[in-house]
C-alpha cells in the first residue's frame, strides 16, 4: 500500500468516527476549496451522509454542486455498494445498504421517503432505486423512484387497475436515449370464465401517463417478478419460451428500453437451461448466467458480445465447498452478485451470508458484515449524490 492510499484510508477512518467529525470539519474549512472537494469525493457514502447531518457548516460543504460529479467518477472505479432488500414474509419490507469499502462494513437501514412502506425492490440503476410501495389505505401498489442517500423522490403515476390482476414491474435506463423507463407486465381476467389476458405498459419518467404496447409475447406469462439484469439498455428475465418432450423450455427474454421491443436472447451452450438452475446477472458490464450444476460445480457464463450466441464463455467454475465450524466442509448454494475490483466475485450463500471467491487462490471466504437481515435479495449499487429529479435530466 503506497503512502497516498494509506493517507486516504486514514482520512476515511477519521471521518467515520463521530468523535473526530468536528475536528475534520474544522480542518476541512481551513483547506482550499479544491482540496476540500477532493477529500470529500473520496469518503465512503456512509461517511458523507453522516458528515452532512452533523451541522449546517458540514451540510454546506457536502452540498457543493461540484461534489456530485467528482463523487460519481470516483465510485465508478470502486467496489459497488450493495442494496439489500429484506425478503422476510412480512409487509412492509425494508431496504438496507452495505458499503464494501467502508471500514466498518456495517449494514445500514434505508428509510423510504414520505413514510412509504416498501413491498418490493423493482430495480436500481444510476444511483436510483425503484420501489413498489403499499398504500396503507387501499393496499394498492404504487411506485417511487428515489435516491436513498439524497432523500428526494419522483413518484410514478398509478397505472389503471384491472379485475383479478397480477403484475410485475421493471426499471431501467437506456444510455442512447437518456431516458429512465418503468415496464409493467399485467395479467388479468375480464370475463366470468376468467380467461387470462396479458398487457405490457411503459412509463417514461418525466412524462404524464403510461403507454400500452401492442401485441405482446406469450413468453411473458412466465414472468412473475422484477428483471434479473439490466444490460445494454435492456431488462432481462428467465422465463418459459416453449414446450418440449421433457416439459417447459426456459430461455432469457429481454425488453429493449429504447425501441421497446421484446427479444429472446441466446442462452449459454449447456445441455439444459432450467429456470431454477440459472440466474442472469451482470459481470463487468456483460450479460452473465450463473448456474449450480448438480451441487458439485458453480459455473458463471459470460456473453462477451451482446446478443451473439457464440460469444458465451465460461468465465468461472469452482466447487462450492466452504470451510465451516460445524464440519470440515459444508456445501453452499451460492447466488452471484457482482465482481469486485480485486478480481474476486461476490456471492450470497444459501444461509444468507456474503461470500467472496478468489479465482487466483481458488478459495471462498466469508465477509464479516454485521447486521445482515435473515433473508435478503442483494443488488450491486453505485451510490450517487445527484438528486433523483436532477438525475432525470442528466445525459449519463
8 Å CB contact between 272 and 299: no
Give the residue with greater pLDDT, 217 vs 361.
Answer: 361
* Cα distances (angstroms) measured from residue 90 to each of 86, 87, 371, 375: 9, 8, 18, 12
72 torsion bin: left (phi>0), alpha (psi -120 to 50), beta (else): alpha
8 Å CB contact between 48 and 61: no
Position 10 confidence tier, pLDDT thresholds 50, 70, 90 = very low
Q: For residues 112 and 211, what is the distance between their CA atoms, to the nearest angstrom?
A: 27
147-179 pLDDT, tens per residue? 988 888 888 988 888 877 888 899 999 989 989
| Cell output for 297 | 460445480
The pLDDT of residue 357 is above 50: yes
* Other Cβ atoms within 10 Å of 230 Cβ, number: 22
Give the residue with greater pLDDT, 366 vs 101.
Answer: 366
Q: 78-391, superfamily in CATH?
A: Kelch-type beta propeller (2.120.10.80)
Note the pLDDT of residue 13.
Answer: 46
Q: For residues 289 and 24, what is the distance between their CA atoms, to the nearest angstrom?
A: 45
* Cα distances (angstroms) measured from residue 153 to each of 84, 259, 386: 19, 26, 11
Query: Which phi and psi angles does 47 have, rounded to 5°?
Result: -65, -40
8 Å CB contact between 179 and 204: yes
Note the pLDDT of residue 1.
Answer: 46
8 Å CB contact between 376 and 350: no
| Cell output for 113 | 421517503
Note the pLDDT of residue 275.
Answer: 53
The pLDDT of residue 6 is above 50: no
Domains of the chain, residue spans:
3-73, 78-391
Give the residue with greater pLDDT, 12 vs 373.
Answer: 373
Note the pLDDT of residue 224.
Answer: 79
Note the pLDDT of residue 254.
Answer: 92
Residues facing residue 292 across a β-bridge: 298
Convert the chain into a string of H (helix), E (strand) and C (coil).
Answer: CCHHHHHHHHHHHHHHCHHHHHHHHHHHHCCCHHHHHHHHHCCCHHHHHHHHCCCHHHHHHHCCCCHHHHHHHHHCCCCCEEEEEECCCCCCECEEEEECCCCCCECEECCCHHHCEEEEEEEEECCEEEEEEECCCCCCEEEEEECCCCCCEEEECCCCCCCCCEEEEEEEEECCCCEEEEEEEEEEECCCCCCEEEEEEEEEECECCCEECCCCCHHHHHCCCCCCEEECCEEEEEEEEEEECCEEEEEEEEEECCCCEEEEECCCCCCCCCHHHEEEEEECCEEEEEEEECCCEEEEEEECCCCCHHHEEEEEEECCEECCCCCCCEECCCEEEEECCCCCEEEECCCCCEEEEECCCCEEEECCCECCCCCEEEEEECCCCCCHHHHCCCCC
**CA contacts within 13 A on the Cβ side of 141:** 21
29-85 pLDDT, tens per residue? 777 888 888 888 888 887 787 777 776 777 777 788 888 888 888 887 788 889 998
Please give the average per-residue pLDDT across 191-218, as a whole number: 81
* Cα distances (angstroms) measured from residue 395 to each of 63, 79, 154, 180, 387: 21, 23, 17, 11, 14
Beta strands 286-293 and 81-86: pairing type? unpaired
pTM of model > 0.75? yes
252-310 pLDDT, tens per residue? 899 999 999 999 898 888 755 555 567 789 999 999 988 877 767 888 999 999 999 99
Note the pLDDT of residue 3.
Answer: 42
Please give the average per-residue pLDDT across 82-94, as a whole number: 80
Amino acid at each position: 500500500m503506497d503512502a497516498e492510499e494509506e493517507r486516504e484510508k486514514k482520512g476515511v477512518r477519521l471521518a467515520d468516527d463521530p468523535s473526530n467529525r468536528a475536528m475534520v470539519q474544522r480542518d476541512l474549512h481551513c483547506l482550499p476549496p479544491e482540496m476540500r472537494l477532493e477529500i470529500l469525493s473520496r469518503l465512503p457514502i456512509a461517511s458523507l451522509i453522516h458528515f452532512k447531518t452533523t451541522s449546517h457548516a458540514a451540510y454546506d460543504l457536502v452540498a457543493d454542486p461540484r461534489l456530485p460529479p467528482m463523487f460519481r467518477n470516483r465510485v465508478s472505479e470502486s467496489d459497488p455498494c450493495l442494496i439489500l432488500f429484506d425478503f422476510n414474509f412480512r409487509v412492509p419490507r425494508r431496504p438496507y445498504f452495505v458499503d464494501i469499502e467502508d471500514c466498518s462494513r456495517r449494514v445500514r437501514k434505508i428509510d423510504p421517503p414520505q413514510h412509504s412502506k416498501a413491498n418490493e425492490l423493482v430495480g436500481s440503476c444510476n444511483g436510483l432505486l425503484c420501489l413498489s410501495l403499499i398504500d396503507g389505505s387501499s393496499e394498492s401498489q404504487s411506485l417511487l423512484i428515489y435516491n436513498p442517500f439524497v432523500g428526494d423522490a419522483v413518484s410514478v403515476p398509478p397505472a389503471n387497475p384491472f379485475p383479478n390482476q397480477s403484475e410485475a414491474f421493471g426499471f431501467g435506463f437506456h444510455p442512447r436515449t437518456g431516458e429512465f423507463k418503468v415496464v409493467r407486465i399485467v395479467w388479468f381476467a375480464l370475463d366470468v370464465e376468467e380467461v387470462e389476458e396479458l398487457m405490457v405498459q411503459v412509463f417514461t419518467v418525466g412524462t404524464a401517463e403510461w403507454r400500452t404496447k401492442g401485441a405482446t409475447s406469450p413468453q411473458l406469462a412466465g414472468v412473475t417478478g422484477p428483471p434479473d439484469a439490466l444490460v445494454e439498455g435492456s431488462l432481462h428475465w428467465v422465463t418459459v419460451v416453449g414446450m418440449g418432450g421433457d416439459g417447459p423450455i426456459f430461455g432469457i427474454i429481454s425488453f429493449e428500453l429504447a425501441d421497446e421491443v421484446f427479444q429472446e436472447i441466446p442462452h449459454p451452450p449447456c445441455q439444459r437451461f432450467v429456470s431454477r438452475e440459472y440466474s442472469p446477472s451482470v459481470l463487468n458490464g456483460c450479460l452473465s448466467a450463473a448456474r449450480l450444476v448438480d451441487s458439485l460445480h458453480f459455473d458463471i457464463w459470460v456473453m462477451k458480445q451482446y446478443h451473439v450466441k457464440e460469444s458465451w464463455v465460461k468465465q468461472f467454475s469452482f466447487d462450492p465447498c466452504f470451510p465451516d465450524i460445524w464440519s470440515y466442509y459444508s456445501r453452499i448454494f451460492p447466488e452471484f452478485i457482482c465482481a469486485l475490483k480485486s478480481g474476486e466475485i461476490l456471492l450470497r450463500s444459501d444461509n444468507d451470508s456474503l461470500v467472496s471467491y478468489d479465482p487466483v487462490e481458488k478459495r471462498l471466504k466469508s465477509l464479516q458484515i454485521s447486521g445482515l437481515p435473515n433473508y435478503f435479495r442483494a443488488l450491486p449499487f453505485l451510490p450517487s449524490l445527484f438528486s433523483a429529479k436532477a438525475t432525470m435530466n442528466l445525459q449519463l
